[in-house]
Amino acid sequence: MFEKYDRHAELSGKMAGKLGVDLTEKYLEGKISAQSLRGTVMQCMRCKKPGTCEKMLAGLEDAELVKAPDYCENRVMLEALRKS
């Protein structure tokens, strides 16, 4: 269970970063609650394509994403945070 949580914590953080969203910064600014921050990992754990996500993120290196993939469980929330 903890391995899965850690895997998805890393994936959700990387996805946010590639979208230009610093989740810790958003939390410190009060734009996301601690519960929502943890919720991003739980949402990511519902993903049916974590391997696809890992490969896609690894292939980006220093590039940023214009938008989250359609399969991303956190897509809507990350897009909203990106605009805030």
C-alpha 48, offset from chain centre: 14
The amino acid at residue 44 is C
Average pLDDT over residues 15-32: 95
pTM for the whole structure: 0.90
Domain that holds residue 21: 2-83
* C-alpha torsion sign, points 14, 51, 9, 72: positive
The amino acid at residue 66 is V
Residue 50 CB-half CA count within 13 A: 16
The number of folded domains in the chain is: 1
Given a cut of 90, whether residue 84 has pLDDT beyond it is: no
Q: How many CB atoms lie within 10 A of CB 72?
A: 23
Given a cut of 80, whether residue 1 has pLDDT beyond it is: no
C-alpha 66, offset from chain centre: 14
The pLDDT of residue 64: 85
* Structure confidence by residue, pLDDT tens digits, 32-59: 999 999 999 999 999 999 999 999 999 9
